[in-house]
Structure 1
Amino acid sequence: MDFIKPKNTNKENISWKISRRTKLIVEYYAKYTEYEEDEVVDMFLQNILKDKDFVEWLGTRRSKKKIDEIIFSKDNKEVATTESIEVEEDF
């Protein structure tokens, strides 16, 4: 028998201000993919690590060891949540 492992063990509540349009895009994309909205946001934001210039810039930071441990750890499966999103009208 295989036991079920926790899906998201290191969640943090955050509050961001995003446009109503962006909120709707995430909402409908989540429905389409059958993921939760916070999972969709997390997956998209993980793609920032494909920006080579950003990764090089991170390598120049004083807290490089901490950055490497948290951001680039293969074992790190943190998922950030966005439970309280403030929506701004931005059309």
Structure 2
Amino acid sequence: MLVVKHEFQDKYSGKVIKVGTILEIEDENRKKDLLSRQLIVEADVLVLKQDDQEEESELTVKEIKLMLEEKGIEYTPRDNKAKLLQLLKGDS
């Protein structure tokens, strides 16, 4: 899993990529470039700060579900974002 460590503007799309965003990069040269510039990091697990609800709210439901799947945590398709975040933090 690739996670944004420092906010940056993507040179191809022009979009600002925020800290904590999970990226999928197929282009190995692009991946190496971003890693070497320390804009992204490879992570097995993304840790959410418990007191920083703003960062949590920036995660999309899709990103949260991906993180749950990587940890092997089950959820239902009807679970809302708040429930998914509880599962991710282990507060079930």
TM bracket (short chain)? under 0.3
Calculate the TM-score normalised by the size of structure 1.
Answer: 0.26
Task: Indicate the structure with greater helix content.
Answer: 1
Q: Larger RCO: Structure 1 or Structure 2 (Cα < 8 Å, ≥ 6 residues apart)? A: 1
- Larger Cα-atom Rg: 1
Task: Indicate the structure with greater strand content.
Answer: 2
Calculate the TM-score normalised by the size of structure 2.
Answer: 0.26
